[in-house]
């Protein structure tokens, strides 16, 4: 039987013990899975470490574990650092994109708003949305066998996103009007990772495309068909993993 995996906050790992205090995870473990003392599980800390563990005790507010081995680096992480810059979409579509990008091994996700973003961005709701996004990627990492949870940056403007320090990663942006630049050519020398920008449902405007070029981003087309923004985001991550990663 496949061993169950659960996220544990790193600060609650104190060798040789660990604890989970998240009420949702506690309910899942106790009421849905009906696990109990001495059941063995795998814990991961969201930063790349996994721990074999045994349930020691359960209470409504805390589950305690005994760690059975030293932390091990998980095998589910890609050797390629992929940073996905994604224009904000309608909530359901953006949530789906976050989930699938996590499953495909994305290291960081950078949400941004640009000229053609449809949903109106409200600063007062930033914290609530950020919290929901972090739960989505944590659950996706748990499901797909990753031990590192992607970092989700706070939403920013397209212009500010172009100026971020991506640590030497190769830089591309998806541009439906690009007909000559191939993805493989745009990735030459991108050994330290890749940051890929995907526009909103209406695509990037001409001024935005010019700003991206000036900031060192190379335009890349994805063929003759018009793709939905969320489809393009998943596709580019998959292609990057195929060309430079572990697919």
Mean pLDDT of 209-220: 95
CATH classification at residue 20: 2.40.240.20
Q: Where are the alpha helices (DSSP H) in 3-125?
A: 23-27, 91-103
174 shares its domain with 214: yes
| Burial class of residue 94, CB neighbours in 10 A (0-12, 13-18, 19+) | buried
148 shares its domain with 171: yes
Q: What is the pLDDT of residue 160?
A: 96
CATH classification at residue 124: 3.40.1280.10
233 shares its domain with 126: yes
198 shares its domain with 135: yes
Domain final residue, candidates 29, 51, 73: 73
89 shares its domain with 54: no
34 shares its domain with 145: no
154 shares its domain with 232: yes
- 61 pLDDT more than 80: yes
Please report which helix (H) or strand (E) contains residue 244, including its range: helix 229-244
Residues in the chain: 247
235 shares its domain with 213: yes
Domain final residue, candidates 29, 47, 73: 73
In a 13 Å sphere around the CA of 230, the CA atoms on its Cβ side amount to 13
Domain final residue, candidates 42, 73, 104: 73
59 shares its domain with 109: no
Q: What is the pLDDT of residues 27-58, one digit of tens each?
A: 999 999 999 999 999 999 988 889 999 999 99
- 162 pLDDT more than 70: yes
Do 188 and 242 meet the contact criterion of CB atoms below 8 Å apart? Answer: no
Instruction: Give how many domains the chain has, as a whole number.
Output: 2
Report how far residue 83's alpha carbon sits from residue 107's, in angstroms, rounded to the nearest whole number.
6
> End-to-end distance of the chain based on CA atoms, in angstroms?
26
Q: What is the pLDDT of residues 164-201, one digit of tens each?
A: 999 889 999 999 887 777 787 788 777 779 999 999 98
52 shares its domain with 159: no
68 shares its domain with 106: no
Residues of the domain holding 56: 5-73
How many of the other CB atoms lie within 10 Å of CB of 235? 17
Whether the upstream peptide bond of residue 203 has omega within 30° of 0, thus cis, is: no
Q: How far is residue 119 from each of residues 85, 130, 137, measured CA to CA in Å? A: 17, 15, 21
Q: What is the pLDDT of residue 93?
A: 95
Percent of the chain with pLDDT over 90: 66
3-state secondary structure (DSSP) of residue 55:
strand
Q: Which parts of the chain are beta strand (E)?
A: 5-7, 13-14, 17-20, 40-44, 49-59, 62-67, 72-73, 82-87, 108-113, 151-152, 156-157, 170-174, 194-198, 218-220
57 shares its domain with 30: yes
Report how far residue 207's alpha carbon sits from residue 56's, in angstroms, rounded to the nearest whole number.
59
Mean pLDDT of 213-229: 91
Do 107 and 151 meet the contact criterion of CB atoms below 8 Å apart? Answer: yes
The β-bridge partners of 152 are 109
């Amino acid at each position: 039987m496949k061993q169950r995996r659960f996220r544990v906050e790193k600060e609650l790992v104190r060798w040789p013990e660990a604890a989970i205090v998240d009420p949702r995870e506690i309910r899942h473990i106790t009421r849905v899975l009906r696990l109990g003392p001495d059941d063995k599980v795998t814990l991961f800390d969201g930063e790349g470490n996994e721990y074999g563990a045994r349930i020691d005790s359960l209470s409504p507010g805390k589950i305690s574990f005994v760690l059975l081995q030293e932390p091990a680096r998980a095998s589910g992480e890609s050797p390629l650092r992929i940073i996905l810059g994604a224009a904000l979409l309608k909530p359901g579509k953006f949530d789906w994109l976050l989930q699938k990008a996590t499953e495909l091994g994305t290291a960081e996700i950078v949400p941004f708003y640009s000229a053609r973003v449809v949903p109106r961005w409200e600063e007062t709701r930033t914290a609530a949305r950020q919290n929901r996004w972090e739960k989505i990627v944590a659950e996706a990492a748990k499901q797909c066998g990753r031990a590192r949870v992607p970092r989700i940056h706070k939403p920013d403007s397209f212009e500010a996103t172009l100026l971020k320090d991506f640590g030497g990663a190769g830089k591309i942006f998806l541009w439906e009007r690009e007909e000559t630049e191939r993805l493989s050519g745009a990735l030459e020398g991108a050994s330290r990772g890749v940051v890929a920008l995907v526009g909103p449902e209406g695509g990037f405007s001409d001024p935005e495309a010019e700003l991206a070029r000036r900031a060192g981003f190379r335009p890349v087309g994805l063929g003759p068909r018009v793709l939905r923004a969320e489809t393009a985001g998943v596709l580019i991550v998959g292609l990057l993993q195929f060309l430079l990663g572990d697919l």
